[in-house]
Copies of this chain bind each other. A is one copy, B any other.
Amino acid sequence: MKSPLRLVSELIPLSRGESTGRELYELIKELFPICRSITGEGLRSTLRILQKHIPLTLEEIPTGTPAFDWTVPKEWNIRDAYIKNSSGERIVDFQKSNLCVLNYSIPVNRKISLDELRAHLFTLPEQPEAIPYRTSYYREAWGFCLPHRLLESLAPGEYQVQIDSTLAAGHLSYGELLLPGESDEEILISAHACHPSLANDNLSGVAVAAFLARSLADVHRRYSYRFLFLPGTIGSIVWLSRNQQSASRISHGLVLACIWHVLKHLGSQNVRDFSPYGYDERQYCSPGFNLSVGCLSRTPHGQFPEYHTSEDNLDFVRPDALADSCACVLSILAALEENQTYRNRNPMCEPQLGRRGLYRQLGGLRDAGQLEMAMLWLLNLSDETHSVIDIAERSNLPFDCLRTAAATLRENGLLEAVVPRTMKSDVSLDSIAGNRR
Chain A window 105-139, contacts with chain B (Cβ cutoff 8 Å), 1 for yes, 0 for no: 00000000000000000100000000011111111
The reply on A79 being an interface residue by CB < 8 A is no
Considering the chains assembled together, what is the distance between the CA atoms of A139 and B357 in angstroms? 10
In contact, A352 and B307 (Cβ under 8 angstroms): no
Instruction: List residues of A (209-237) whose CB comes within 8 Å of B's CBs.
Output: 233, 236-237
- Once A354-B139, A364-B135 are accepted as A-B contacts, the answer to whether A285 and B380 lie under 8 Å apart by CB is yes
A70 at the A/B interface (Cβ < 8 Å)?
A: yes
Which partner residue on chain B sits nearest A366 by CB separation? B302
B68 and A380: CB pair below 8 A? no
Chain B binder among A3-11, A56-64, A341-349:
A341-349
A373 adjacent to B68 (CB under 8 Å): no
Interface assignment of A282: CB less than 8 Å from any CB of chain B = yes
Q: How far is the CB of A282 from chain B (nearest CB, A)?
A: 6
CB of A314 to closest CB in B, whole Å? 20
- Contacts A277-B376, A285-B380, A347-B286; A308 near B364 (Cβ below 8 A): yes
Which one, B69, B302, B347, B367, contacts A351 given CB within 8 A? Answer: B69
Q: Give the docked Cα–Cα distance between A348 and B135 (Å).
A: 24
Shortest beta-carbon distance from A66 to chain B in Å: 11
A373–B135 Cα gap in the complex (Å)? Answer: 19
User: Which chain A residues (287-307) contact chain B, with CB distance < 8 Å?
Assistant: 287-290, 302, 307
Tell whether, in the assembled complex, residue A348 and residue B68 are in contact, meaning their CB atoms are under 8 Å apart: yes
CA distance A233 to B436 in the complex (A): 46
Complex Cα spacing A299 to B134, Å: 50
A340 on interface, CB distance cutoff 8 Å: no
Name the CB-closest residue of B to A140.
Answer: B361
Q: Mark A67-96, 1 if CB is under 8 A from B, else 0.
A: 111100000000000000000000000000
**Which residues of chain B come closer than 8 Å to A419, judged between CB atoms?**
none
Residue A23 is within 8 A (CB to CB) of chain B in the complex: no
A34 at the A/B interface (Cβ < 8 Å)? no
| In the complex, chain B residues whose CB is within 8 Å of the CB of A308 | 364-366
Partner of A352, one of B70, B364, B368: B70
How would you classify the secondary structure of chain A's contact residues: helix, strand, loop or mixed? loop
A352 and B241 CA atoms in complex are apart in Å by: 14
Assess whether B276 is in contact with A348, with CB atoms less than 8 Å apart.
no
Chain A contact residues (Cβ within 8 angstroms of B): what range?
35 or more
Q: Which of B285, B349, B436 contacts A283 (CB 8 A)?
A: B349
Check B287 against A362 for contact (C-beta < 8 Å): no
When A364-B134, A373-B276 are in contact, do A380 and B287 touch as well, CB less than 8 Å?
yes
Task: Name A276's closest neighbour in chain B (CB-CB).
Answer: B376
Which residues from B are CB-within-8-Å of A241? 348-349
Taking CB atoms, residues of chain B closer than 8 Å to A344 are 286-288
A275: min CB distance to chain B, Å = 8
Please indicate which of the listed interface residues A69, A136, A383 has the most CB atoms of chain B within 10 Å of its own CB. A69
CA distance A366 to B139 in the complex (A): 19
The reply to whether A302 and B367 form a contact with Cβ atoms under 8 Å apart is: yes
Minimum CB–CB distance from A193 to chain B (whole Å) comes to: 16
Bound-state CA distance A377–B287 (Å) is 11
Question: Could you say which residues of chain B place their CB within 8 Å of the CB of A68?
Answer: 346, 348-349, 351
Q: A348-B240, A349-B241 are in contact. Are A286 and B380 (CB under 8 A)?
A: yes
Task: Output the nearest chain B residue to A247 by Cβ-Cβ distance.
Answer: B348
Q: Contact at A286–B361, with CB atoms within 8 Å? A: no
A355 B286 Cβ-Cβ under 8 A: no
Instruction: Determine whether A381 belongs to the interface, using a CB cutoff of 8 Å to chain B.
Output: yes
Query: A287-B383, A349-B68 given as contacts; is B134 within 8 A of A362 (CB)?
Result: yes
Asked if residues B302 and A352 are in contact (CB atoms below 8 Å), the reply is no
Does A141 sit at the interface, judged by CB under 8 A? yes
- Tell yes or no: A103 within 8 A of B by CB: yes
**8 other A-B residue contacts (CB within 8 Å) besides A137-B363, A286-B344, A289-B349:** A68-B346, A68-B348, A68-B351, A134-B362, A138-B354, A237-B349, A286-B349, A287-B379
A interface residues, Cβ below 8 angstroms from B: 67-70, 103, 122, 132-139, 141, 233, 236-237, 240-241, 244, 276-277, 282-283, 285-290, 302, 307-308, 344, 346-352, 354-355, 361-368, 372-373, 376-377, 379-383, 436
